[in-house]
Structure 1
Amino acid sequence: MPPAATLTEAQAPAFFALPRWHRVRKHPTLIIGALLLIAVAIIAAAAPWIATHDPQDIDPLARMLPPSAGHWFGTDALGRDVFSRAVWGARVSLIVGVSVALLATGLGVVIGLASGFVRWADGFIMRVMDGLMAIPGILLAIALMAVTQASLATVIIAITVPEIPRVVRLVRSLALTLREQPFVEAAHAVGTRLPMILARHIVPGIVAPLMVLATFVAAAAVLTEAALSFLGVGVPTNTPSWGNMMAEGRNFVALAFHIILYPGLLLAATVLAINLLGDGLRDALDPRLARQL
């Protein structure tokens, strides 16, 4: 009969495995979302070379011009090139989305595992998370921005705080389920320390759901940043961001609809791409669907 340690390794299921190509290609939403997101990322990364004008250049003689060969998306109320500002705005949205997803996921994993395995701290942690979830995320972000100085870093922090409880609750529920599994109990029985159990048996079991949740957190962060900027409590108004552009153009909708049209389309396309990627990952990483495919 093999030793207990060997049984522990053998009985531990492979909860997380990246989908292979023959499975990925059966999920068109995953491919479409990834391609759209890659396109937006390329635009953001190549903004200095793609932009046809300086996004901050003001030209009073070229105010609210319609799209043309000289200004592909037209100009705004100050004569600034809308295309160049929209391209640079992609950087702000992607930086916020990725940063919030990474911070919220990282902090949520630590807090969620502490809540799931440290019994005396579970009640306190979850009551704090319940209190944060009782406040609408956008209102909590506005309140945090009101007591801080407007900057990209403070926007990221203000959006991250309301997103942490979602991750904590998911990680805690998964940890509570996994810690009762036979392979975890076997690891305890052979004297494996808690950090090793978390690293080898618990964390691999929560990676796939976390990847899916992180995509939806990123999409929500992109929308929240645009909403904060639209309301005037986001990134500084001189920073080219899609929310700022739509806020500046809302008073000129009847005269120059293009000022808000193009940043709005880019915002919608980015959020759609992230959500499609999340839906595709959920389908590709779901073991029940994998067996059907």
Structure 2
Amino acid sequence: MSATISIPEQLPDEGAPPLRRWRWARKHPTLIIGGLMLLLVVVISLAAPWIATHDPQDLDPIARMQPPSAEHYFGTDALGRDVFSRAVWGGRVSLIVGLSVAALATMAGVFLGLTAGFVRWSDGPIMRVMDGLMAIPGILLAIALMAVTQASLTTVIVAITIPEIPRVARLVRSLALTLREQLFVEAAHAVGTRLPTILWRHVLPNTVAPLVVQATFVAASAVLIEAALSFLGVGVPAQTPSWGNMMAEGRNYVAVAFHIILYPGILLALTVLAINLLGDGLRDALDPRLARQL
């Protein structure tokens, strides 16, 4: 016996009438706008080898700190590197970090949250550890972890993932505490279904909608923290094109070459805005209480 929480409003399928799709889009404009903005960032980042007009590592001392022009769309930095090409390539770092942290934090949080919610003796120890991690600001914990490791993209992902796990674990635990009292879970226990099967077949499907929304907010937070770590000099290696590194290199030349820090900052802000809009839109579309108010 299995049951899942019903979602009153589903995403429109490809065969839906155009008028129906248009009405659905009007009800969820943030989801559409955020999805299109994020899709544009993803396409530009994936197409970086073809869109970039220069090699992001090429140095041209003669063309140092030039303003935007037809040859250098976003100008050049203090070493004569093309800002546009580095900004396009830098999007890959932010997207990799955001998606990786969201995936890893969600998987770890689901495991810990379900364990705490259904294995009663483990609830106290697990949640006290999660509370301890949440007591430390995420950026400070990430800086501390980076200080004792070698700077690389992998260590940045791990350092950002650890502070994000408690947010997901607490969400899943609260859902698990509610679901374990439902009749379909009790019925599965009554017929002798093993706990892993109950979690996989009956509980986990009911956590998908809130987890998807939470994962988007985790991804947005990870993109910001990665940029902050790189800006502070403890993120990805300095030679790697990333928006945080570009802004860190350009902060000393704001008065004479503001474009070095302007364009990476705009791209970072737009990416985080797109992910947050997507998360808000998914929350509105998947939450039955909000759906009934539309």
Could you state the TM-score of these two structures normalised by the residue count of structure 2? 0.94
- SS of the aligned residue for 1:185 comes to helix
Partner in structure 1 of residue 18 of structure 2: none
How far residue 291 of structure 1 moved from its aligned partner, in angstroms, is: 3.2
1:157 equivalent in structure 2: 158
2:193 matches 1:192: yes
Residues 67 and 76 in structure 2, CA contact (< 8 A), matched pair in contact too: yes
Could you report, residue by residue, the CA deviation over 1:75-120 in whole angstroms, capped at 9, with x for unpaired residues?
Answer: 0000000000000000000000000000000011011111111111
Structure 2 residue 260 is matched with structure 1 residue 269? no
The equivalent of 2:134 in structure 1 is 133
2:170 partner SS: helix
- The answer as to 2:10 corresponding to 1:19 is yes
Q: 1:290 deviation in Å? A: 2.5
Q: Distance in 1 between matches of 2:112 and 2:7?
A: 21
Name the CA distance, whole Å, in 2 between partners of 1:68 and 1:28.
35
For 1:50-199, list aligned pairs within 5 A. Answer: 50-199=51-200
CA distance in 2, matches of 1:203, 1:129: 21
* Offset, 1:182: 1.2
Equivalents in 1 of 2:36, 2:93: separation in Å?
Answer: 20
**Which deviations, in whole Å up to 9, do the C-alpha atoms of 1:123-154 show, x marking residues without a partner?**
11111111111111000000000000000000
Letter in 1 for 2:57: Q
Could you tell which deviates more after superposition, 35-44 or 191-200? 191-200
Q: Please state how far the C-alpha of 1:194 moved relative to its aligned partner.
A: 1.1
Residue of structure 2 in register with 1:224 after alignment: 225
Instruction: Write the distance in 1 (CA, Å) between the matches of 2:130 and 2:8.
Output: 30
CA deviations 1:167-199 (Å, max 9, x no partner) are 000000100000001111111112222122111
Which residue matches 1:251?
Answer: 252
1:246–1:137 CA distance, 2 compared to 1 (3 A) = same
Can you give the 5+ residue segments of structure 1 that lack an aligned partner in the other structure? 1-7
TM superposition score normalised by structure 1: 0.94
User: Unpaired segments of 5 or more residues in structure 2?
Assistant: 13-20
Shift of 1:287: 1.0
Q: Distance in 1 between matches of 2:130 and 2:84?
A: 41
Instruction: After TM superposition, give the deviation of residue 13 of structure 1 in Å.
Output: 3.7
Distance 1:18 1:160 in 2: 32
Q: Deviations over 1:41-80 (max 9, x none)?
A: 0011000000000000010000000000000000000000
Number of equivalenced pairs: 284
Please give the alpha-carbon distance, in whole angstroms, between the structure 1 residues aligned to 2:148 and 2:24: 45
Cα distance in 1, alignment partners of residues 273 and 68 from structure 2: 25
User: Partners in 1 of 2:64 and 2:114 — Cα distance?
Assistant: 55
Give the Cα–Cα distance (whole angstroms) in 2 for the partners of residues 100 and 37 of structure 1: 17
